[in-house]
Amino acid sequence: MTATATARAHTNIALVKYWGKADTDLIIPQTGSLSLTLDQFYTDTTVTFDEGLTADDVIVNGERLSAQRATKVHNFLNLVRQQSSRASFARVTSVNHVPTAAGLASSASAFAALAGAASQAAGLTLDRTALSRLARRGSGSATRSIFGGFVEWHAGHDDLSSYGVPLVEKVEWPIAVVALVLDPHHKKISSRQGMQSSVNTSPFYPAWQQIVADDLAAIKPAILAQDFTTVGETLESNAMRMHALTLSAWPPYSYFNGDTLAAMQTVKELRAAGVECYYTLDAGPNLKIFCQNSDIAAITKRFSQQFGGDNVIVAHPGPGIQFLDEA
């Protein structure tokens, strides 16, 4: 007997970042965070529970993963099996339309899609809050990818109280994010490793917790008021202060490369020339530039000249999780 479901989830870019876990097993963050779901980067995942299988079978982008590489997926499926009546193993087929592990939140879309497909295939009927909590157990940022538009992640203090909440799901504000793919390869230090190092060794970590609280208090009303300048200034300063934690950890590390620094300088030059835009980046070298639709042409022209048109991708606010009909 088999049961199948397919889900699509989009990545999100954190505008106010959490960077540190209070509970690494349950993935409870040290602080809240706020993100924007993007339409151009997503993961499609099909899950089939099949009593004929003798182990979980995981295929990502056409490649069958070894049992060791599929450990996180297997552990996540165990959570679904615990919550449902399904005891059988599952076949997972996932296609990432995102450069993996390059700071473009591929784990967010991957585990949000897995949470949706696996829970539905297992016969669970979860509301979006429960689905957000489940997705969080695979990847912290996945808790936000259940929803579209601007999403806040309430840090909470336990499994029940830590989940995403939409702030504005249907974004009617003419804004965009221009993503620069400066290095599509796997990063050497994972987000998980980097966060723990910063929490454990950066002397500035307590200040970071207050910064996040202040930035959330500033950015939420600015989003509701469509105050582009306040949102942009907040997201850019929040990103740089997060990356200051990587430089102040021991041993120090950085996700920047030379192109990252060059792109940051270009954003500043564009602003000085009257093109208002702001940058952010997560655990990777790839810049995301927050801008208004009216400035997309000027921004993409400049960065295409600098890095090549194939490495400049325009995204807009995207939707929450979708369930797809395989037929």
Predicted confidence pLDDT, tens digits, the chain (327 residues): 679 999 999 999 999 999 999 999 999 999 999 999 999 999 999 999 999 999 999 999 999 999 999 999 999 999 999 999 889 999 999 999 876 544 566 889 999 999 999 999 999 999 999 999 999 999 999 999 999 999 999 999 999 999 999 999 999 999 999 999 888 777 778 888 989 999 999 999 999 999 999 999 999 999 999 999 999 999 999 999 999 999 999 999 999 999 999 999 999 999 999 999 999 999 889 999 999 999 999 999 999 999 999 999 999 999 999 999 753
Which of 109, 143, 172 finishes a domain? 172
Total domains in the chain come to 2
d(CA 104, CA 14): 10
Q: Pairing between strand 33-50 and 150-154?
A: antiparallel
Whether residue 54 contacts residue 90, with contact meaning beta carbons closer than 8 Å, is answered with: no
Report pLDDT for 31.
97
Report pLDDT for 88.
96
d(CA 149, CA 317): 5
For every residue of 145-199, DSSP letters joined together read TTS-SEEEEE--SSTTT-EEEEEESS--S-EEEEEE-S--SPPSS-HHHHHHHHH
By three-state DSSP, how is residue 210 classified?
helix
Residue 295 sits in the same domain as residue 243: yes
Domain hosting residue 183, numbered range: 175-315
Amino acid, res. 289:
I
Residue 326 lies in a domain: no
What are residue 290's phi and psi, to 5 degrees?
Answer: -85, 125
Residue 52 sits in the same domain as residue 197: no
* CATH number assigned to the domain comprising residue 39: 3.30.230.10
Report pLDDT for 191.
84
Residue 168 sits in the same domain as residue 179: no
Which of 143, 172, 201 finishes a domain? 172
Which of 172, 206, 236 finishes a domain? 172
170 closest CA partner among 48, 59, 274, 36:
36
Report pLDDT for 327.
39
Residue 322 lies in a domain: no
Dig out the tokens for 245 from the structure: 């934690």
> Omega into 206 within 30° of 0, i.e. cis?
no
Residue 153 sits in the same domain as residue 40: yes
Which residues make Cβ contacts (< 8 Å) with residue 65, sequence separation at least 6?
58, 59, 73
Amino acid, res. 290:
F
Whether residue 245 contacts residue 67, with contact meaning beta carbons closer than 8 Å, is answered with: no
By three-state DSSP, how is residue 319 classified?
coil
- Dmax over CA atoms of the chain, in Å, equals 63
Q: Environment class of residue 298 by beta-carbon count within 10 Å: exposed (0-12), middle (13-18) or buried (19+)?
A: middle
Whether residue 86 contacts residue 117, with contact meaning beta carbons closer than 8 Å, is answered with: no
Whether residue 93 contacts residue 28, with contact meaning beta carbons closer than 8 Å, is answered with: no
